[in-house]
Structure 1
Amino acid sequence: MFEIFTDFATWLVVDVFGLSKATKLGDALQFFIEDTTKIFFLLLVMIYVIALIRASMNVERVRDYLAGKHKGVGYVLGSSFGAITPFCSCSSIPVFLGFTSAGIPVGITMSFLITSPLINEVAVLLLLGLLGWKFTLLYIVVGMFVGILGGAFLDAIKAERWLQSFAAKALERGQKISSTSESNQVEALSFKDRHAFAKSEMLEIFGRVWKWVIIGVGLGAALHGFVPDGWIQTHLGDGQWWSVPAAVLLGIPLYSNATGVIPVMESLIKQGLPIGTTLAFCMSTVAASFPEFILLKQVMQWRLLAVFFVLLLVAFTFIGWIFNFLAPFMITGI
């Protein structure tokens, strides 16, 4: 589905601007155009569709199912949805906004937001070919567990109080739909009214975040591909305990989507970088980068952003240590 954005970016960079993707400028510009157009598309479509659904049917039953005694199931469903959707961290934010507007608890939404960039079907296929099914299965289980645990923790500390005011109001507005009078009003809306509601919400949210999409992706594009070849392997390839948190911190200024980081992951593994260190670096690049946090700042207050940031860094570090410890046994079949 998203190939159209790749083809459009390539056409614009190569045919219109006359640049080669082999150059750093051409690669960065292609990266910027592809991700910006994709995220704009997702913002407009996802927010409109979810708002239209909210105005067309009673979503309170689904929300109550996820928010009540079945909240644990909600974390699993949120994480599972994140695992099967081909979104990078920045592309997941439109869905995050849609879930929030629908009144779905923040912890469940965060389970999706954490898991979505971590587990990617391309990464699964690559790891399956490189390391076998046992390692790949562990990768999926651990990625989902991080999302589920993170969502439960954020619900436990009542993270919704640290949303930006417009996001908090959207969450409150979605939760109020459960009242009988409002539910009847929703059912009585004509399609014209539902369209007007969805269009208004789409334009309101898009108007708040579009410039931050450009800034965030622009920063990622400027940094994309500028780390010298071989530098990571040279400095982090000996497997010391500190190399994992160092790899996590190194990945923060960079940005890539889950598919774009796969060649990097494959190259690092083949050149001898420990598997856990490689995964920690790539997870940080995809899910904890500066561009993502520039966008998230538009829907989260600093406290929630800081908690989310530390949660990810700690999770990635422990994942790296676990995989570095287990990898020799799993790869050799011991």
Structure 2
Amino acid sequence: MLAETFKSFLAIAIELTILFVVISFLINLLQSYIPYEKVEKHLGGKNKIFAAFFALIFAFVTPFCSCSTIPVVVNMLKKKMPFSIVMIFLFASPVLDPTIITIMGVILGWKVTVMYTVITAIFSVVIGFTLAALGFEKSVKNVVMKGYEESNKKFDWKAAWQETMQLMKSVYPYLLIGAAIGAVIHGLVPTKWIAGTFGSGNWWLIPLAAVIGIPLYIRLSSMIPISQVLIAKGMALGPVMALMISSAGASLPEVILLKSIFKKELVITFVLSVMTMSTVSGFIFYLI
């Protein structure tokens, strides 16, 4: 059983490593053609729908986890960008990582991945505009945070490879952790137990997964291999996606950072919004 678990870990780890290196390298090359200055100009434009679309694009091409998104949010607020657009980016950036979404497509299937991308994008926009309409902009503190610098550097092949290796240092350990957990589930946890406990039509598993995901701080890169094994073992897709979205969208370290730039009422609303997004998304996957 232990030998089977180790073989499963090697198989998952090798597959994820190849996918991660190849996809990250290609995306880093493509990022050299993205006109960031024009994107930021559109983010602050008068057409809010158009600006929301560019906020999603900006979130997609900035592969940050929930914590590293915060300095960029501060920079956007300092530039007096519309509050609704900043909130759209805050919600969308951690869950719309281009590398991880591509890996998700290969591992979990493109139908699931397209649904995930569309649902999280729509929710990010709706939540961003809703928070602005409810007047939460007044809950932003006047702070200055270091840690974000703009760059006009154009990637070449060498620079793209260096960037890929740098990304490997920060993200790859989480991929291996996810692969290890997935291998343990695959080798040691009985399929019948997972299918019987989490594969049933119990609706309450979805909000439970959404609540559990936030304090766990499982990065999206770790959740992909875990989700693959859980689904293969018979776990329902709804709770898996709810756990994936909530763990990627918010975390305890991020909430602590948010308290330095947002007042308490906005921090609480942010956490509740992530839980709502993950719960409703889970039910959508559950029904479909």
TM-score by length of 1: 0.57
Q: Distance in 2 between matches of 1:320 and 1:62?
A: 32
1:155 alignment partner in structure 2: 132
| Residue in 1 that maps onto 2:63 | 86
1:277 maps onto 2:239 in alignment: yes
Following superposition, the deviation at residue 130 of structure 1 comes to 4.2
- Tell me the alpha carbon deviations over residues 105-152 of structure 1, each in whole angstroms, 9 at most, x when there is no partner: 221011111011112234423432345433322221111111111111
Structure 1: gaps of 5 or more residues: 1-49, 54-58, 168-200, 204-220, 327-334
For the residues of structure 1 that align with 2:269 and 2:128, how far apart are their CA atoms? 12
User: Which of 75, 78, 94 pairs up with 1:98?
Assistant: 75
Aligned to 2:15: none
Match of 1:146 in 2: 123
Structure 1 counterpart of 2:111, one-letter code: K
Please name the residue that 2:218 is paired with: 256
2:143 counterpart SS class: helix
Counterpart for residue 307 of structure 1: 269
Identity of aligned residues (%): 31
Aligned with 1:294 (options 249, 256, 261): 256
Instruction: Let me know the Cα RMSD of the aligned residues.
Output: 3.3
Tell me the equivalent position of 1:165.
Answer: 142
1:60-103: CA deviation from partner (whole Å, max 9, x where unpaired): x966x645640121112112211232111111111111111111
Match of 2:280 in 1: 318
SS in 2 for 1:81: helix
Structure 1 Cα separation of the partners of residues 70 and 200 of structure 2: 36
Shift of 1:246: 0.6
Give, in angstroms, the shift of residue 250 of structure 1. Answer: 1.2
Count of aligned pairs between the two proteins? 218
> Among residues 74, 81, 96, which one is paired with 1:119 in the alignment?
96
* Candidates 202, 225, 241, aligned match of 2:146: 202
Quick one: distance in 2 between partners of 1:103 and 1:69?
Answer: 13
**What letter is aligned with 2:88?**
S
Point out the structure with max Rg over C-alpha. Answer: 1
CA–CA separation in structure 2 for the residues paired with 1:236 and 1:305? 31
Is the CA contact 1:120–1:259 (under 8 Å) kept in the aligned structure 2?
Answer: no
The answer (yes or no) to whether the contact 1:83–1:144 under 8 Å persists in 2 is no
CA contact (8 A) 1:122 1:262 kept: no
Q: Greater RCO between the two (CA within 8 Å, min separation 6)?
A: 2
With over 3 angstroms needed to count, the CA separation of the structure-2 counterparts of 1:98 and 1:270, relative to structure 1, is same
Tell me which residue corresponds to 1:133: 110
Alignment partner, residue 41 of structure 1:
none
Distance in 2, Cα, partners of 1:142 & 1:319? 7
